A and B are shown apart, each in its own frame.
Chain A
């Protein structure tokens, strides 16, 4: 980098103090004489300042509400995990999971199981999620009403395997597919 030529990548590294001393000095010298590079450095600084301030406020406003207790209670009550509770899966993927998780001859009725055992699920929705409420294991099927394309549709096959999928063990008010 010399007086006549600006190198924005080098300048960015200069800003981050990621240059070797010799190079740092060279860029420093260039910056002294280059208005546009000085402006760019100031912009980086402002960007950083605004970002950090905004993030800091968000963190300060966030209530963690005994996060440790929630984690500990999850650990204590943990049942064998079938998978992540947050099944954001398209119908085709779900079919595959249904097949993998429970064999054809698996138990079809479980009194202590979830409120509803999903035996099969077919349709043109672009994604489906099955989950359970943590305490009383009430089954929830959540589907995206957007219909899938014909191509995608061909991938969706019907299944007839008994299954329980989805396992919600999150703290109240945090888990779930909403508020993104």
Chain B
């Protein structure tokens, strides 16, 4: 048996984290729906990462595609056919996944960062801080999102980073509210009182007690924020507000629509991008739902207490 003097809290903590991590993994494995989501997601991420090797960037250029047939249905040379300018739809699909996922992830990082900071400060400090931050949040919440995003996207330069910025600054309020609510419940827990009675400072309480008990919620809201960001990017691109130099699925849809793919019954032009969006969004939602079930402290604590 271990001797007291050699007991290392850090080793024990890591062993425990490993254990609960592998616990979570095995529980996730049993969740078939979440696993399907995960597999689809990983597939898209791999595709996005190896896009440069899968299809040369030249496939996206109308100039380089000048000799290709236009409106060509799927064939051996063009697995997903060509568009009205003779460009490979497959290349657009592969490269488009890059933009959609990048925007999805980057905008989510921004959303969650702002949302968490605002939510935690408002919830923990309360009083004036809370009042000011929450009025700000409400203000962002009541502004109709799409017009604001359109105005911002129109005013700013049309770059992919500005799209990310637009999505980030318009979608944090709901995250902030969610996290603030959780902080408020955690704050009233008796163990926070105990920490105060032990002489703990505010930073200590936030770091040791509030954050660990809010983190699962933050993680869960990430998986919900990503699909929203992807859909928003699609919307903006479809409205013609995308970065003109980058191919995203939304932009593909917009061009297909503009070129009259629907009227020509050129399903191969718009279907891949549309299905890609649906697949990624659905995969995220399925995976996120499974993750939430594993991370939700209520469900877990209930289970542990039985």
Chains A and B come from one and the same complex: no
- Chain B residues close to A by CB (< 8 Å): none
